[in-house]
Amino acid sequence: MENKLEMLMEEENLCDEERVIKRAVMKRFLKQETTESGCATMDLCSVNEYGSYLKPFGPDYEFPGGFTKLIEFLADKFPRNLIKLSHPVEHIGVVDDDVNPVLVQCKNGSMFQTKHVVVTTSVNFLKKNYTSLFDPILLNEQKIEAINTIKMDTVDKIFLFYNDMSFFPENCDAIHPLFFDEPEKFNMRTDWKYKVYTFDKFYENMLLVWITGKEADYVETLPNEEVADVLTEMLRKLLNNKNIPKPDRIFKTNWNSNPYVLGSYSYVDVNGLANKHINDLAEPLYLNNVVCIQLQLSINTLFILIFIFRI
């Protein structure tokens, strides 16, 4: 893609200044595409599968109080004794029982023998844990290949809250930085900021920053104060205003640090085929002529969604 840009600029006989600007614009949009595609860099994303993800039909909803309120609403529909919190599952195995052939073992020592189990997890969690999570009999070679082939990287949000955001330009929804000084030799400690491609005005008192890939993983390890300092300095330079205050509060997602998620979105990389590997994940496995494992939400056009096993 970058080579194509160079060819087009050569054909247009652009001056050096115009070329520098166009390169910076292209880099900025490639960073945005990593958010859309869920990959660390666009070099990892399959060209053949690029754009195959389709947004589900219907509007986006905003839940007052956050997504947790939706979970609480759904949980209230079930008797409380049916919901077990703080029961991380350690192993799902098979026992010699025609009625309840599945045994679920938890890290706290609890065990549940049952006929069916629904397991929701991410691809990265499967990559790290499938050998210990499932009895070998439950996974065939196609499932294992699919788990190891479909990729998943980090997409994080950083929320900056202000009591007074009058410094932000009126009638402006977002600021998109262009960098002309990105170092050739990258240093994560000082250069993660170059992966930031937007400051979105999400509310009248809040800016939203997106960051992806290894830079996002690194930001998760930083104290909020340090992240706020770096982003505030960026805003001051972008708006040429040294008086822009630090945010009064900052919150950042930590998807990669969550041991039960280990990333944000899945995507099809250069070695993957959506029609093959996602379908292989969705293909049912049988035990004694009964569906043993069934991956739900494994659809070629919706592969960013959370995967669900049905056992």
Question: Quick one: which of 137, 172, 158, 146 has its CA closest to 249?
Answer: 158
The reported pLDDT for the residue numbered 288 is: 66
Cβ-contact 124, 135 below 8 angstroms: no
Q: How many residues would you count in the chain?
A: 311
3-state secondary structure at position 75: helix
Question: Quick one: which of 199, 156, 160, 157 has its CA closest to 177?
Answer: 199
Cα–Cα distance for residue pair 154/38, rounded to 1 Å: 7
DSSP one-letter code for 275? I
Rounded to 5°, angle at Cα 121 from 253 and 278: 110
Cα–Cα distance for residue pair 109/241, rounded to 1 Å: 57
Cβ-contact 45, 39 below 8 angstroms: yes
Give the tokens for residue 99. Answer: 């009625």
Q: Quickly tell me which residue has 């996602």 as its tokens.
A: 278
pTM of the model: 0.84
* DSSP bridge pairs for 215: none
CA dihedral 292, 293, 294, 296 (to 10 degrees): 140
Amino acid at 229: D
Sheet holding 89-94, edge to edge: 89-94, 102-106, 111-114
DSSP one-letter code for 277? I
User: What is the SS3 assignment for 192-247?
Assistant: HHHHCCCEEEEECCEEEEEEEHHHHHHHHHCCHHHHHHHHHHHHHHHCCCCCCCCC
Distances (CA, A) of 82 to 79, 100, 310: 6, 18, 18
The reported pLDDT for the residue numbered 68 is: 81
Alpha-carbon torsion 230, 234, 236, 242, what sign? positive
Task: List the chain residues with pLDDT less than 70.
Answer: 1, 49-56, 274-275, 285-311
Distances (CA, A) of 114 to 86, 92, 99, 105: 19, 11, 8, 11
The reported pLDDT for the residue numbered 278 is: 79
3-state secondary structure at position 69: helix
